A and B are shown apart, each in its own frame.
Chain A
Amino acid sequence: MPPRALSTARTRTLFAPLDAGGRADAVTRRLTQAIRLGLLADGERLPAEASLASQLGVSPVTLREALASLRELGLVETRRGRGGGSFVCAPDDHDQARLERPLRLLSLHELQDIGDHRAAVAGAAARLAAQRAIPGDIAALREHAARLGAAATTTERRRADARLHIEVAAAAQSPRLTAGEMELWSEIGDLIWLPMGADQVAAVAAEHRELIDAIEHAEPGLARELAERHVAAETSRLLEFRLGLAG
């Protein structure tokens, strides 16, 4: 893919200067999100290091550190010589080995912490959605739930699953909880389906159905509990899988 200029929109949203003290971790996170959300396409060449560093408001040393992390995660590859530079490698959901790599970099405590964060966001979103959703919202939730059931590939399952959870937060009428779900899904969305096969789709679909029913029946307490339990179950599966990779 030939290099192309980054659009202003993406430059503003992705490459807005980080706060003072912004570090390689923050740069890594932002670029990871951009790649996971498809804002940076597979094969796309990143701007030259000096230019990218100045757009992000970090030093070239910090940027190089971030690029090294991204290479480690398999999200960027650097080619030398004429026509070289750093190129985006958008993750392929079917490539289990590639997905296991970022999972190995997360400690069990980090995974648990991400799961706790997800439970907090999903639980609050479910509770508010049960208070604020209208029939049109419920119809959208059921549609995305059905897409998950009909999905034939991991990519489709992950997409439908992410969309469903984001829609619950949108039904809560909260831009912040919605942004929270989007950030969490872009961060570890690929990993959530890693330990789950097609045989688990029915179980996940049943949990989603119960959750949507609770939202539709305006039962905020139940909706929250179901969402928290659903996320906790996914977190435990991921933790078991991560333990299996140890050693």
Chain B
Amino acid sequence: MTGAAASAGAGASAATRDSAGSGDSAGSGAAGEAARLLAGITGRVGQVLASVTGVRDATLGLAAAAQAAGRAPGPADLEPLRPLVAGVLAAHQGFAAGAGVVLAPGVVAGAARCLEWWWVTPAGEVSKLAVDLDPGSAEFYDYTSTAWYREPERTGSWSVTGPYVDYICTRQYTFTVSVPLHLGGGFAGVAGADILAEEVERLALPALTRLPGAAALVSGNGRVIASNTTRALPGTVLCPGRSGPALWHSPPLPWTLVADPRSPGG
């Protein structure tokens, strides 16, 4: 969950939602089946989003309990999150690689920044992410500058950031879904989960290869997520003028299936 860039927020997806009706008529036969398969993927992302919302609500409950006791929430108040997040990671095993909560500076008593994030190690164990949150340190990790933090802060709604190179947590090509957390009417942080881009590609590829022509699943900012052609490989950005029309939209995610995709050099 690095991502200083490449976010496609809920705000950006509103237009996609509005035009989703036309996407449903993308076609019958192979194209229709591909659309159904791709809808399954966005549904899968939606399930992770639902789990993240659950983590957010639990965090609000813990914070409210601390406040009811007459104090600002402290790190100890958030300890019950660990088993909850471990459960989320188990429920989305092999798809979500990390999840947790980060709080806005000053929300947690005794800590300028607070990151309660867990990830699944290569050995399959759930471990807490250790990062340096001391602003004076050379290795300071300022999560407030990431897109997955800023987008929910800006829009007040959920967002899907990526794909992007997450060099802090998963160290892989990753998406992060995040939802804002509001305390006392103010923005107080986000809850989120990391989804490995390779898993999304693995799910998308069978659908894409069923299509009669070249096509790519593209994120809201024009980045290829998965494709059935080497002319537009994952991670590249499509050339708008040289690529074909949108075949299908995937509400509520701001993802689009683009025909005859072309990236620079492709």
Contacts and interface: CB of A to CB of B under 8 A. Distances in A.
Interface of A: 7-10, 12-13, 16, 36-39, 93, 131-134, 136-140, 143-144, 155, 158-159, 162, 166-167, 169-171, 173-175, 178-179, 182, 189-190, 218
B4 interface: yes
A132 B145 contact: no
B132 interface: yes
Interface in B115-131: 119, 121-123, 125, 127-131
Interface stretch (B165-173, B185-193, B253-261): B165-173
B6 A137 contact: yes
Nearest to A182: B167
B235 A173 contact: yes
9 nearest CB pairs, A to B: A9-B127, A140-B4, A136-B5, A173-B235, A38-B139, A38-B132, A170-B165, A137-B5, A8-B127
Contact of A159 (B5, B6, B139): B139
Given A12-B121, A166-B167, A170-B164, 7 more contacts: A7-B127, A131-B237, A131-B265, A155-B138, A159-B137, A170-B167, A179-B171
A136 B165 contact: no
Nearest to B118: A9
A138 B6 CA distance: 10
Nearest to A158: B138
Interface in B1-35: 2, 4-7
B121 A136 contact: no
Contacts of B139: 36-38, 159
Interface in B199-244: 221-223, 235-237
Nearest to B131: A38
A132 B167 contact: no
B232 to A, nearest CB: 12
A39 B137 CA distance: 12
Contact of B264 (A39, A155, A218): A218
A139 B129 CA distance: 27
B32 to A, nearest CB: 31
A159 B173 contact: no
B147 interface: yes
A12 B122 contact: yes
A143 to B, nearest CB: 7
B237 A134 contact: yes
7 contacts: A8-B125, A136-B5, A166-B167, A170-B2, A170-B5, A178-B165, A189-B138
A9 B121 contact: yes
Nearest to B264: A131
A174 to B, nearest CB: 7
A134 B5 contact: yes
A167 B4 contact: yes
Contacts of A170: 2, 4-5, 164-165, 167
A9 B236 contact: no
